[in-house]
Amino acid sequence: MLESVLVSTPQAPFAAHKGSLVWVLGCRRYIFWQADRFFGFVQDLHLMNQFHGSCRGQKASKVFGLAAQFSVLRCFVEQREPVLKESDKAFDIHARFEGESYQDILDRDTRAVPECLRVEQAQYLGSDPVPASHYTSVDRFDQEVEHMWMRAWQMACRVEEIPEVGDYLVYEIIDKSVLLVRSAPDRIQAFYNACLHRGRKLALSAGNKTELKCPFHGFCWQLNGDFKSCPTPWDYQHLDAETLQLPELKADTWGGFVFVSFDEAAPPLMD
């Protein structure tokens, strides 16, 4: 009887079946203070099937497996732990919502859409659980820093945040601090935010300056990173101005966004 009640449940409105489900619970002498939990689960199944729409031409109820749903519902009624077949534990195909796609929205844009936004490279990587250690492992973090954060272009700010010559701001990620400077009307440069003398940060927040001066010993650089002066040059006669050029990172703009890269061999941003 339970199968006859549930077989249409995933496809029909939840309210239409609540009476039948109450009858099932009564026949099974179900503990009624748990009934709300049971109804909530059934309603979740309805929402799941409605929300996921079609999955590559198949109804979501077929994708998730009616047999698996019935098995779990029976376990709720019989007050036992569900045991699902391996094939029912996860679905291995892409699921897309019905309705307007991103490409449909681009089609209506009043301006020409860059070709890079027309490329779809979605790749299904499975639905297995991600180990919790991925979020807590120091070794895993170090690998992400080495292979991703230190190689990929990072969006640091908008061009409107540093509109005038001399405007600067600080961008920080991981343990790195970057000083972004508009050194010319049509040029934005990125430097490691550290004085070459003692490593003091050249800036702590955004602002505007005509030169970049270290607040510790007063070493000073021009906006383009060229060494300018220090207060007591006689104490630093062993230093060469050419070796005091501020180390520069790759910087580029796209769509009004400013990107930086720590990788000297990084491909051009537009690639």
Tokens in use for 54?
């079609």
Percent of the chain with pLDDT over 70: 63
- Within a 13 Å sphere around the CA of 85, how many CA atoms are in the beta-carbon half? 11
- Please list the residues that pair with 191 across neighbouring strands: 179, 248
H or E element that contains 38: helix 35-52
Nearest CA among 242, 169, 268, 244 for reference residue 209: 169
What's residue 75's pLDDT? 54
Question: What distance in Å separates the CA atoms of residue 148 and residue 127, rounded to the nearest whole number?
Answer: 22
Greater pLDDT, 34 or 238 = 238
List phi, psi (to 5°) of 49: -70, -35
**How many other C-beta atoms lie within 10 A of the C-beta of residue 259?**
18
How confident is the model over 105-129, as pLDDT tens digits? 899 999 888 888 887 766 777 788 8
pLDDT of 98: 67
Residue 240: name the closest of 226, 251, 250, 252 by CA: 226
Per DSSP bridges, beta strands 257-261 and 154-158 are: antiparallel
Tokens standing for 62?
């077929």
pLDDT at 67 over 90: no
Quote the pLDDT of residue 45: 53
- 121-179 per-position pLDDT tens digit: 667 777 888 899 999 999 999 999 999 999 999 999 999 999 999 999 999 999 999 99
Domain coordinates in residue numbering, the chain: 2-88, 154-261
Domain 154-261 has CATH 2.102.10.10: yes
Closest by Cα among 212, 218, 214 to 200: 214
Q: Is 186 exposed, middle or buried (0-12, 13-18, 19+ CB in 10 A)?
A: exposed
The more confidently predicted of residues 26 and 241 is 241
- What mean pLDDT comes out for the span 194-216? 95
